[in-house]
Structure 1
Amino acid sequence: MRPIQKMFFIIITSVILISCSNSKYHTVKKGDTLYSIAQKRDVPVPELKDINNLESNLLYSGQKIYLKPSKNYKGSYHMVRSGDTLYSISKKYDVKVDHLKKINDLKNNTLYKGDKIYLGKMVNKGDLNFSSSSTTTYKNNSKDSILKNFGQPLKTMTINSPYGYRDHPVLGRRILHTGVDLKASTNTPVYSPYSGIVTYAGWMNGYGKIIIIDNGNNYETRFAHLNRILVKKGQTVKKGKVLAKSGKTGRVTGPHLHYEIRYKNQSMNPMKF
């Protein structure tokens, strides 16, 4: 073999080897992030973390991030349909519910139609096409939902503490914050966001003075840490009615309004609606 032919052979072989190698893993370079690798390789971030046993998003130069082959596969996620539950999805794809919740950062079992649930494993194209007949935990988040007609409990809405897990300012441990804390000085008027019937008006541990309203269609609203309650149990209230005056009763560090929306007694993020 002539020297020039030998040189071309080495170059072509090297290109092929590099190409094959790159199909199996990505070598981290300065500036790389899991997100940039995911975009370039068309592999979801949760999947990259799962197959590489990564506990965080931190990477270092020279690190090998292994990729899953995509040939003959549609993807590694399930698109939620009406009727789907985490249990039915876990059974179909043989993935534990706790694992699904972890890699999708789910705080509870609530699913929304159209959500992508990452499975943490590659799934054959045929396995992704099925209809679930399981009991639904789907919360109606469509334009037909009564939530589209909900108003605001305060005239000015400023969030002090959002919905989700947090380190409780009083208890000092990480727990689910089932509503949102809205900025409100003592005796700020609290309005009913939607019509309904008052099912509770009084004191409740942690909440302090609280009002609970049944808004119909399995929806419920809660208003806590109140200073004054202006309605009674059993009273029918209309949207926009003044229910109470805000305060700092219960387990709090200062005055504000704790506001919750629940569906079938499961908390929802009020700021999504």
Structure 2
Amino acid sequence: MVYTRQNQSALTAAQKRRFVSAVLALKRKGQYDDFVRMHVEFYVGDGSGGHPVAHMAPTFMPWHRRFLLEFERALQRIDPGVSVPYWDWTVDRSPHSSLWGEGFLGGNGRRSDRRVMTGPFAYGGGHWTIKVGVTEGEFLTREFGRPRDPIELPTKDELAWAMRDSLYDSTPWNSTSSRGFRNKVEGWTSGVGNGRFRNHNRVHRWIGGHMLGAASVNDPVFWLHHSFIDLLWSRWQRQHPQSAAFLPATKAAGTERVVAGDEPMPPWDVKPSSLIKHGNLYRYA
């Protein structure tokens, strides 16, 4: 049965409670931290010498699509009526958005140590202890807008810049690719300062705290952010129907470090080409 992922701004209070309850139940089972560990393991940068899959590579889109599906299925084993909502950060741009409400994801971190003090994922509530990638303590941290080095959420124009590119990806298939929707929406550029970060990356920077780095899954907003990224890939395909939905399609010279469309993608050993469409599983409202 095809289910629907909704805009978080359209969720009812009851729907928010069900989503939060399922996430907390997954945390109690110890399964949530397994997702954090997986993301840490497969976050491989350009200069690491390994094989990038989750980031800085063409598989950024299909890898996170499968990652989201695995998380969503885990939630649905707890509550079959739950799906992962999406956060359109070009519209809901305020620290006071309902997204950050007491009954949903909680708000910003306090100034002294960035510790989140409100909502169901605040450490003080006793239900959300950071166990993977612990750097500053066991509590969830955020720092909206990075006041020490101010940054804003991406604008509609910045997103449109990425969506206009009719090529999915290009050589050298990493964070330095100057052409391609994938790298532009992921947000790696040759700029300086905060100007280096666009779209996906800029959202991580704006939230700050645990959303910085490989262990960003520790903040549940990660899933709403990547649900929107997944939606953007669908929209891009509709806008460019004559373009290849994933490149490189097959292994060729210069693609040794990346997974091609017809190759198994770890850790699930599914081909990126099998994840291009999602209409038989879910749709977006």
TM-score, L = length of structure 1: 0.24
Higher relative contact order (CA 8 A, sep 6+): 2
Higher strand share: 1
Structure with max Cα Rg = 1
